[in-house]
Amino acid sequence: MLNDLLLLIKIKEGDIKSFETVFRHYYSPLLYFSAGITGRGDIAEEIIQDLFYVLWRDREKIQITRTLKGYLYSAVRNRSLLYCRRRKLDETYVSGLETDRTESDAQESMEYRELEEIITKTMNKMPERRMKIFRMHRFESRKYEEIAQMLSLSVKTIEAEMTKALRALRKEVELHTSIQ
């Protein structure tokens, strides 16, 4: 534990060797842990790599109040469960779309696809962070506080990004509906 604390201090100071030590020590156990939750090794690998990328990128501002090991395992658990929820939502969304399309008439289906296309295009134009925040809030039903904690941002930043995302979506939908 003390060793992890010293490594964390060195990582915050930008010591790449300390970061590599932590990476080598925790990578495999975290990979198995994530694969056990997600059921997919390739996804687990992406989760772990992303976690270590964020750890290095945000090393100066990350606040670890517990042990480094506890932080890493909690982060992997959260990211793995998030993947599982997202996968389930995607499956539900796709099956819901198929059901809706068979039950609705051609006009409604066309309007729905157009709206979906507008939303997708608008989201793809958003900065990556804003799009990620929007997806987490709207598609994964996460609260602002939870998103802020997961992304190491303030709640005010999350609120501002959501406001900008909704404003952009509203503008594009209004522009599209005024053309027709």
The pLDDT tens digits of the residues spanning 37-51 come to 888 889 899 999 999
pTM, 2 dp:
0.50
pLDDT number for residue 77? 92
**Residue ranges in the chain whose pLDDT is less than 50:** none
- Residue 58 near residue 152 (C-beta atoms within 8 A): yes
Domain segments of the chain as ranges: 1-81, 104-180
pLDDT number for residue 141? 86
Architecture of domain 1-81: Orthogonal Bundle (1.10)
Q: Was domain 104-180 assigned CATH 1.10.10.10?
A: yes
Where b means 16+ CB within 10 Å and e means fewer, 33-65 reads bbbebbebeebbeebbeebbebbeeebeebebe
pLDDT number for residue 134? 86
pLDDT number for residue 98? 59
